[in-house]
Amino acid sequence: MWCSLLGLIVSTIVISVNAQGCPGGWLHHGSSCYAFIDSEPDGWLEAMFFCSSVKAKLVEIETESENTFLKRHLQAIGTPHNSSYWIGLSDIIQEGTYVWQTTQQRPDFTDWGSDEPNDLHHNEDCIELYQVKNFHWNDVACSVKSKFICEITLDGDSGILGK
Ligand SMILES: [Ca+2]
Ligand SMILES: [Ca+2]
Ligand SMILES: [Ca+2]
C-alpha cells in the first residue's frame, strides 16, 4: 500500500504544479505547500521518511500564522474523533529539549495543549496535532500510528521545485 501511495504522490508531483507553485493536491500557505496524509504509518520516523521520499519534510511550524492555517484546515475537513497528525518536532535526542527535525533548532513558537508536554510514562518524545486537544500540540510515543502532514518550502530549502 505504501508503494502505491508513494507512486500516486510522486506522479502527482511530476505532472502538475498549481498556480502558487505547489504540486497538485498540495495546499499553499505563505511560502510553503502542505500535504495532509491520511494513511497511518507505523510511527513518527516512518512518517518522516515518507515526507523525505517525496522531497518534503514532516511539517515544521515556525509561526502562529502557519499553526492557525493547519489547525483551521484540520477543523474544516472534520477529522474523526481522536485523530492526530505528526509534526516534525521531537525530544528524541535529549529529553525535554524539543527540536525541529531538519534544523535541530528549538521552536520559537509553540502551541502546547493544556498539561502538555507531559512525557507520560517517560515515553513520549514525538509531537502531534491532537484532535482531542483541539489540535493543540501533544507529545506521544513515537511508535503510535498517526496521520501526518508533509511540507515543501518554496524558498528552495526542500529543493523539490527546481531551485
Ligand atoms: Ca513551516
Ligand atoms: Ca519526551
Ligand atoms: Ca503527552
3-class SS of residue 151: strand
Of 144 and 158, the structure prediction assigns the larger pLDDT to 144
Write the pLDDT tens digit of every residue in 82-97. Answer: 999 999 999 999 999 9
* pLDDT at residue 142 greater than cutoff 50: yes
Write the pLDDT tens digit of every residue in 33-74. Answer: 999 999 998 999 999 999 999 999 999 999 999 999 999 999
Which residues place a Cβ less than 5 A from the ion ligand 3? 116, 118, 124, 138-139
| Confidence bin at 161 (pLDDT 50/70/90) | very low
Ligand 2 center from residue 122 Cα (angstroms): 6
Strand-pair category, 57-58 with 136-140: unpaired
The tally of domains found in the chain comes to 1
Write the pLDDT tens digit of every residue in 92-127. Answer: 999 999 999 999 999 999 999 999 999 999 999 999
Which own/partner contact pairs does 96-105 have at CB distance under 8 Å and 24+ positions apart?
98/127, 100/60, 101/48, 101/57, 101/58, 101/60, 102/57, 102/60, 102/157, 103/60
pLDDT of 32 = 97
Q: What percent of the chain has pLDDT over 70?
A: 83
Instruction: Confirm whether 61 is domain-assigned.
Output: yes
Calculate the alpha carbon distances from 100 to 12, 23, 78, 104, 127 in Å. Answer: 27, 24, 27, 5, 10
Instruction: Confirm whether 88 is domain-assigned.
Output: yes
**Cα–Cα nearest to 150, from 25, 18, 21, 20:** 25
Instruction: Give CA–CA dist 19/136, Å, rounded.
Output: 31
Instruction: Confirm whether 117 is domain-assigned.
Output: yes
Terminal CA-CA length for the chain: 31
Instruction: Confirm whether 7 is domain-assigned.
Output: no
Instruction: Confirm whether 160 is domain-assigned.
Output: no
Instruction: Confirm whether 17 is domain-assigned.
Output: no
Instruction: Confirm whether 12 is domain-assigned.
Output: no
Ligand 1 center from residue 20 Cα (angstroms): 16
Instruction: Confirm whether 149 is domain-assigned.
Output: yes
Host domain of residue 57: 23-153
pLDDT of 155 = 77
CATH number at residue 125: 3.10.100.10
Cell of 28: 499553499
